[in-house]
Homo-oligomer: A and B are copies of this chain.
């Protein structure tokens, strides 16, 4: 069980993140020809503002806090990352991908706006992420490093690579190394990006001890997050999840549960979570991030 204090920080951060996301979308409305393409912005907003715990930007903010850095810059960076996360959900739900009609209990983007606009909304969210990433609160060097990291974690060696591995192995039996690579990229890349953006916002750029600690923490919780997702698909409450359960098995997806069985999957998630906490315990005020590691494997949606 999470403490009240933890849940309060999660909610407070989510509120700050959503206000900032809204502001970043409002920039689109300033275009003098906005009326001609307002539907595109509405479609982006529909998915970006559809709720969720905002774990990724929250991780950026809390790593910036852990390392005494600039939380406002981490918020700017993290909101761009949330746009990338949202684009991936919109494209993932499309008929040529997972063909999902529900996401967090609401009709998916292409169900509401049609496939063409959903495709464009995803594309536009990627570009808007890069347009609005720069923070006024840090140096040009830090901004540039944030740009490159976000691009790398999103692109053809990051999340997109993970999606490709997933596609190619649907319905096939795969080994644990392939499954690990798949998830290190598909979900892991953006979680890693979230933690490292917080480091960059603190001036702890690549090469520092803090950066490599955050990197290792992120790898552990990224994998634990995915295992927890796989477990939730079997044991979860459909209402809380806002989607159908058991779909992984039906669609012959490769998951940690199908590969290891549910008990071994739970053990693995637990041990990854412990490892993550041990890495950051040496820093003062690491309590929140340690609770976040627990939350990732104990959450029910």
Q: Judging by beta carbons under 8 Å apart, are A119 and B97 in contact? A: yes
Q: Judging by beta carbons under 8 Å apart, are B130 and A140 in contact? A: no
Q: Which residues of B contact A163 (CB under 8 A)?
A: 120
Q: Is A160 an interface residue (CB 8 A)?
A: yes
Q: Which residues of B contact A87 (CB under 8 A)?
A: 123
Number of chain A interface residues as a range: 35 or more
Q: A141–B97 Cα gap in the complex (Å)?
A: 39
Stretch at the interface among A145-153, A236-244, A259-267, A275-283: A145-153
Contacts A36-B165, A120-B167, A178-B36 given; does A128 touch B155 at CB 8 Å = yes
- Which A119-164 residues have C-beta < 8 A from chain B? 119-120, 122-131, 134, 140-141, 143-144, 147-148, 150-152, 154-158, 160-164
Contacts A91-B123, A123-B122 given; does A156 touch B128 at CB 8 Å = yes
Mark A residues whose CB is within 8 Å of B.
28, 31, 33-34, 36-37, 39-41, 44, 87, 91, 94-97, 115-117, 119-120, 122-131, 134, 140-141, 143-144, 147-148, 150-152, 154-158, 160-165, 167-168, 178, 181-182, 185
Q: Which residues of B contact A140 (CB under 8 A)?
A: 140-141, 144
Q: Which residues of B contact A44 (CB under 8 A)?
A: 156
Task: Give the Cβ gap from A190 to chain B, nearest Cβ, in Å.
Answer: 12
Contacts A167-B116, A181-B36 given; does A28 touch B156 at CB 8 Å = yes
Report which of B94, B96, B120 forms a contact with A160, defined as CB distance below 8 A: B120
- Tell me how many chains of this kind the complex includes: 2
Report which of B40, B143, B160 forms a contact with A127, defined as CB distance below 8 A: B160
> Dominant SS at the A interface?
helix
Interface centre among A127, A131, A152, A158 (most CB of B within 10 A): A127
Q: Judging by beta carbons under 8 Å apart, are A40 and B116 in contact? A: no
Q: A205–B196 Cα gap in the complex (Å)?
A: 31
Task: Give the Cβ gap from A204 to chain B, nearest Cβ, in Å.
Answer: 19
Q: A213–B134 Cα gap in the complex (Å)?
A: 27
Q: A300–B39 Cα gap in the complex (Å)?
A: 36
Q: Judging by beta carbons under 8 Å apart, are A155 and B131 in contact? A: yes
Q: A163–B121 Cα gap in the complex (Å)?
A: 11
Task: Give the Cβ gap from A154 to chain B, nearest Cβ, in Å.
Answer: 4
Q: A56–B249 Cα gap in the complex (Å)?
A: 47
Q: Judging by beta carbons under 8 Å apart, are A157 and B28 in contact? A: yes
Interface centre among A41, A144, A150 (most CB of B within 10 A): A144
Q: A40–B186 Cα gap in the complex (Å)?
A: 14
